[in-house]
Chain A
Amino acid sequence: MGIIFREETFYNDFTFRNSPEAIRRFPFPFHEDSYMYSVNLEPHKSYRPGSVLERAFDVDEHYVSEMRDRARVLAEDPLRCQSLPHMTLAGWDLLELIMVSKAEEYPDLFELHRDGNRWHWINRPLGIEQRFTFLDETTLPYGPMEYITRQTQGDFAVLDQREDNLWMDAGMVTTQADWSLDFDIGMNFFEWHAPVPKAAEMGIFQRALKFLLNVQQGAPARRFNWTMTVNPLLDTSPENYHKWGVMKRDLTLENMGQMMHLRVELQTFFRLPRSNGLVFPIRCYLIKLDELVTVPKWARRFHRVLRDLPVELATYKGFVDNRPKIVEWLSKYDDGAPTSPGIWPD
């Protein structure tokens, strides 16, 4: 398979780029020329070889650099990774799920050898080799959730299921679209979604919760979400908002193509076998507008979506002030031609 892992940064000099191959497999989230909230959950089944939907946990050319960025963010702020005391078993469930999936799906990159509870894990891209005892925390350098999510792209919310609700009782959150694990930990599904406009009155959360409570082991689900980010910042946390918020002012029509990014979250949901918890990985993919417009269908459609987006959504997603500029820039790439159905390039 031979992924060439890029050396790049997501802060300061922002050397993050997508290769032409990475652009072609980017999960463009709009299947039509407009956007409104919907539950949009579907089975997380292997789909379209080479795409980000082929495997349970996609590994791409940004893997090594993203893990370095996570370590940097955690060193600055350890509160980005927390687990309430009753969530340790769910952490082991998650470690098992990821190790087994990655070893099966990327045998040239990851190996897992199991002899009863004596496990041997090899992560070649990060140069890690670890022998440990499954379910014995003293044999790992971190708790099980932290250990494995320091080696897996995407944020992770680990949810406890009780009282017909989901509770955000553990997580690893360093690549988030402006929400705080430290503030939200311990909240239920409705509480942590409280700040989202419109969706509650549309009944979105009631329906989504009902679906998620019934996700079965071995039958994960997925959906996309998206926003816009100035500079390729994985860490757009509220904690650091006073550092990255100001960057939005630097946007001009001249630097738009390099500075403005579409940020897409591939959200997946897996039932955990021992704890009956639910893990909610939130994988962030970034693409520069210059990169995005190399696919003519995406350029046309994205222009139409942003132009027609309800103002509440543009405000909530944090780009309402810059929207006119972004739409003006994108309009050059929209000749009014019809677009084909579906999210993939023509």
Chain B
Amino acid sequence: MSKAVFEPSIPSRPVYGALEPRTGISHLMIADAEGAEAILDMAGAAPPGFFANAHIIYIPKRTGTLYVERLQALAPAQLHIAPSYAAAEPRLKRVLSSSHMGLQLYLAGTEGLMGQVMREAIEAGIPHDAIQTEHRGSTARRVQCVHCKGITEDVTHDPFQCSHCGLHLFVRDHYSRRIAAFQGVRVDAEDPGNIPEAVERFK
């Protein structure tokens, strides 16, 4: 199992549940890496024919082909394997824009993926209660540099170096759903050059 236990945190930090099959006209599932396990687990509880109306968009990342055959075996109406979230985004937007009432959305995997899809879904008018989330796999964070506004994906260390402006940032728990990112703030702002050793906080 790759379920992470998150420490208690502040109210802006998202919390995640466990996917369960719901009744709906259609089912849209977006997952990355170990998020595939959440879909496979849910399949065990799903009624026959559930995946006949399912569209799965899956981004394997470092898991490669590990889960792909098992997802195919669910026989979803559509299974799209994408090399990155950025590559999947146009398809996702297209699907969300033509979705009807009764669509159920299932998100699984990293916080960065779920946060970004959530943002697109809300923008497309999908009601909150039609969206489920389940965290699986890496707890790496998507972090926005508050200074240059650039976003660094999959941050595992704290502090880390902003991939855009190069400042060394500490990672806050403060989270923006609109940006789908945590906030990063210069760690040595008051004492330039005094950068604490980076610790792997998010595996």
What A residues does B173 contact at CB under 8 A?
A: 194-195
Contact of A191 among B12, B147, B192 (CB under 8 A): B12
**One of B30-38, B42-50, B177-185 at the interface:** B177-185
Contact of B146 among A185, A192, A239, A246 (CB under 8 A): A239
Contact A183 B174 (CB under 8 A): yes
Report B55 CB to chain A, min CB distance, Å.
28
Contact B146 A186 (CB under 8 A): no
In the complex, A241 has a CB within 8 A of chain B: yes
Contact B190 A192 (CB under 8 A): no
Cross-chain pair count, CB within 8 angstroms: 66
Contact of A245 among B13, B144, B179, B190 (CB under 8 A): B190
In the complex, B152 has a CB within 8 A of chain A: no
- Closest residue of chain A to B148, judged by CB? A239
What B residues does A204 contact at CB under 8 A?
A: none
Contact B147 A241 (CB under 8 A): yes
What B residues does A200 contact at CB under 8 A?
A: 10-11
Contact A194 B186 (CB under 8 A): no
In the complex, A180 has a CB within 8 A of chain B: yes
What A residues does B10 contact at CB under 8 A?
A: 194-195, 200
Given contacts A79-B149, A195-B174, whether A183 and B179 have CB atoms under 8 Å apart is yes
In the complex, B176 has a CB within 8 A of chain A: yes
In the complex, A190 has a CB within 8 A of chain B: yes
Contact B178 A185 (CB under 8 A): yes
Contact A194 B174 (CB under 8 A): yes
- Closest residue of chain B to A200, judged by CB? B11
What B residues does A186 contact at CB under 8 A?
A: 176-178
Contact of A194 among B12, B167, B178 (CB under 8 A): B12
Report B137 CB to chain A, min CB distance, Å.
25
Place the interface of chain A in its size category.
20 to 34
Contact A182 B147 (CB under 8 A): no
Q: How far does the alpha carbon of A192 sit from the alpha carbon of B147 in the complex, in Å?
A: 18
- Closest residue of chain B to A192, judged by CB? B12
Contact B189 A183 (CB under 8 A): no
Q: How far does the alpha carbon of A135 sit from the alpha carbon of B178 in the complex, in Å?
A: 28
Report B113 CB to chain A, min CB distance, Å.
20
Contact of A249 among B11, B144, B178, B190 (CB under 8 A): B190
In the complex, A238 has a CB within 8 A of chain B: yes
In the complex, A248 has a CB within 8 A of chain B: yes
What A residues does B144 contact at CB under 8 A?
A: 183
In the complex, A242 has a CB within 8 A of chain B: yes
What B residues does A184 contact at CB under 8 A?
A: 176
Contact B191 A242 (CB under 8 A): no
Contact B11 A190 (CB under 8 A): yes
Q: How far does the alpha carbon of A190 sit from the alpha carbon of B15 in the complex, in Å?
A: 14
Q: How far does the alpha carbon of A95 sit from the alpha carbon of B149 in the complex, in Å?
A: 30
Report A317 CB to chain B, min CB distance, Å.
14
What B residues does A193 contact at CB under 8 A?
A: 11
- Closest residue of chain A to B182, judged by CB? A183
In the complex, B172 has a CB within 8 A of chain A: yes
In the complex, A103 has a CB within 8 A of chain B: no
**Known pairs A186-B178, A187-B12 / 15 extra A-B pairs, C-beta < 8 Å:** A180-B146, A183-B146, A183-B179, A186-B177, A191-B12, A193-B11, A194-B10, A194-B173, A195-B10, A241-B147, A241-B186, A242-B189, A248-B190, A249-B191, A321-B190
Could you give 7 example pairs across A and B, Cβ below 8 Å?
A183-B176, A190-B11, A194-B174, A195-B10, A241-B189, A245-B189, A246-B191
